Structure 1
């Protein structure tokens, strides 16, 4: 029964390209559509058709991690390209609609991130071995979208360009007080202090990131200008000339959006400026992949611009600029995946083969979501006063 239902679903799903699926009993089925990528799969678990019908995202991810599903020529990027291109054309199918409806029904619970739960979620991802991140990030450990001003830029150059672009949008002057919500390993905060003379408070819930960032500030002699604290952003008091947040809003959760933007408003001076850099979806509100929630970012969610704007408008903040980055994150993830694969032996020594396959799947699937799906990056500039920034964008050049 499950094989027949799987076959029926696949015949409706495949609109572009071709896929050959070899079942566990050795029989092969082919599904094809218009010209596109051609891939092959092999099932090593006779129960996989049932799992794919019931929980597609989870079954695919776990099947690849566990080796119960293998890809012809180990072409993970090719398979995920095929998958993403067809997902974009299958939203009308009944089983996609019913699955999405069930996930929408529980998304407020999945994204309920009070302080104690937020700490647990952060530890799940960011308190992994520091060596792991050194395998694929740039030397500054920028774990967010780079800015490829020229296509031939290296990852290091593009990450430096991202920080410079953000600094320009913040209109920094020496001595300004900056509040960074989610400081990561400290690279942006240190750049704002070193290159622009700002005084920065960066907060994180990751013990590993806090320790690393603090050591960096001490080593660079910037401890008097940059302070890193292991604290929830909601607990910070006082006012700041500038607020910046890069790659953290994805972890806030929709039920907390109003609190987040109320905090931004309350922490900004009357003529202050905030810059929120986040992964976004160029689509209506949706849900997070169950596999991503379980294995990568518990509590995480990629917002639609409509969800963000509803919250910052309600908070009384004026949107002074909104910029959409389209393929920049696809290129960033391509660099990360290539670096990770080149050092997979080192990753294997840190964890195990299942973890390496999980991380590879995460990076490749994320790249394809930006390259062929509806994901992008929003940079939203906000202020309490509409005249807080110049009336033209020349200052960003």
Structure 2
């Protein structure tokens, strides 16, 4: 088996360098360059499972401790492997790849009950865990980095500002529906800074409690509300609709239903902004390890899977923006924060969970850097006249919002005041 593993890895690693120690103690190198990563297999079983199904088993054997990093990190290994051209190096891997493509719609079937269970699987974890690595506002979606090296908190604020600008909140007290409102950060921003009346809906009981508490603390109960409700049950209409990081959980077979409901909820001159993870290439399927452990029922669509449903629902696409590496940088920041709080993570969970989430954050980052994932922001309306003719209004709105943010910021106080 050692010889087979060596042959396969040498076919995969065509740039960079990888050193491998097998379970029997044999050492070999793959790749033309000096090895930057050294891995050791703790069992022959781990070697066999990796050869049979690398997409699933790489995460499994790292999480279980059967794959040990002797040099470099799991992020270094994933960057090396995921940047290669050959990703299904064995016959079994290719067969499983095609089977998963055929069966992908079953994994993405998300009726109401299953949708709520899928959300609970990820978002109803101990809220203290997310506080360890997210920004102060607990934004669990792609940040918007306006310049290299920007702080995560500033980039997440810029994301909210960018979205608010695209919603064309050009009058006070416009009604806004936030589909998938999370811990409430965006809804509170739209109410406090953009002076909108916001209704947020979520399927996560953990997030709902936090969002409602935050609204009360800010004295915004009359301006923003949050409810545990499926978007399909929400009555309208609304002047504006926003959805950030929720569409990935809808499922391809439900896209038509999603956009028909959005049109029903949107006022005749309303504007909607959809912010979601997508892919540059053709339709595919969710990595099986991610689907099992992190986001069951989740999928990142190609735009070709989304726009036909928008057209059939009778909505007009008024703007599309692609955020390319913003999520890679967001995930890099999250991973650094997560690992910096390692001891606190272990007090809340265990070593296996820590390795699982390190793999999730690193693998997701590399998927954005090397495997064609991106974030799209699609602005929609029922009438094309609902938004200005040129995009100049976005920058102008951002300038106004930035001024309001500065005015609403609490004053600095000296120690002891």
- TM-score of the alignment, normalized to the shorter chain, above 0.5: yes
Alignment partner, residue 16 of structure 1: 15
State the partner residue of 1:75. 73
- 2:172 paired with 1:140: no
Q: Paired residue for 2:255?
A: 257
Task: Tell me by how many angstroms 1:89 deviates.
Answer: 4.8
Which of 341, 347, 352 is equivalent to 2:345? Answer: 347
Cα gap change, 1:36 to 1:139, in 2 (>3 Å): farther
Alignment of 1:315-334 (within 5 A): 315-334=313-332
Q: Residue 401 of structure 2 aligns with which residue?
A: none
Which of the numbers 154, 157, 161 marks the counterpart of 1:160? 157
Counterpart mapping for 1:286-297 below 5 A: 286-297=284-295
Match of 1:382 among 370, 380, 383: 380
Deviation (angstroms), 1:237: 1.2
The 5-angstrom pairing of residues 69-108 of structure 1 reads: 69-86=67-84, 88-90=85-87, 97-108=94-105
Query: What corresponds to 1:27 in structure 2?
Result: 26
Cα deviations by residue, 1:271-328 (Å, 9 ceiling, x for unpaired): 1111000011111000111110111001011111111112212211111000000111
For 1:106-121, list aligned pairs within 5 A. Answer: 106-121=103-118
Q: Is the 8 A contact 1:37 1:82 kept in 2?
A: no
Counterpart CA distance in 2 for 1:296 and 1:390 is: 40
User: How many Å apart are 1:386 and its aligned residue?
Assistant: 1.1
1:194 paired to 2:192: yes
Q: Report the Cα offset of residue 92 of structure 1.
A: 9.1
- Partner of residue 49, structure 2: 51
Contact 1:169/1:396 (8 A) holds in 2: yes
Shift of 1:39: 1.6
CA offset at residue 37 of structure 1? 6.9
Distance 2:153 2:167 in 1: 22
Distance 2:162 2:244 in 1: 12
User: Please, which runs of 5 or more residues in structure 1 have no aligned partner?
Assistant: none
Q: Displacement of 1:38 after TM fit?
A: 2.9
Q: Alpha-carbon deviations, 1:17-61, whole Å to 9, x = none? A: 12121110001222214x597322100011122211222122111
Aligned counterparts, 1:226-237, within 5 A: 226-237=224-235
Provide the C-alpha distance between the structure 2 equivalents of 1:111 and 1:286, rounded to a whole number of angstroms: 12
Distance (whole Å) between structure 2 residues aligned to residue 310 and residue 91 of structure 1? 31
User: CA–CA distance in 1 between the matches of 2:91 and 2:392?
Assistant: 48
Bigger CA drift: 185-194 or 367-376? Answer: 367-376
1-structure distance, mates of 2:98, 2:20 = 28
Structure 1 residue aligned with 2:393: 395
Asked if the contact 1:115–1:232 (Cα under 8 Å) also holds between the matched residues in 2, the reply is: yes
Aligned to 1:129: 126
Question: Contact 1:285–1:307 (CA<8 Å) still a contact in 2?
Answer: yes
Q: TM-score, normalised to structure 1's length?
A: 0.96
**2-structure distance, mates of 1:154, 1:14:** 34
What do you get for the CA RMSD once the two structures are aligned? 1.6
Q: 1:19 to 1:188 in 2, by over 3 A?
A: same
Cα 1:32–1:74 change in 2 (3 A) is closer
> What is the DSSP-based 3-state SS (H/G/I as helix, E as strand, rest coil) of the residue aligned with 2:304?
helix
Counterparts of 1:203 and 1:5, CA distance in 2: 52
Cα deviation code 1:49-86 (max 9, x no counterpart): 22112221221111111110011234222111101101
Confirm or deny: 8 A CA contact 1:3 1:50 kept in the other structure. no
Alignment-derived partner of residue 220 in structure 1: 218
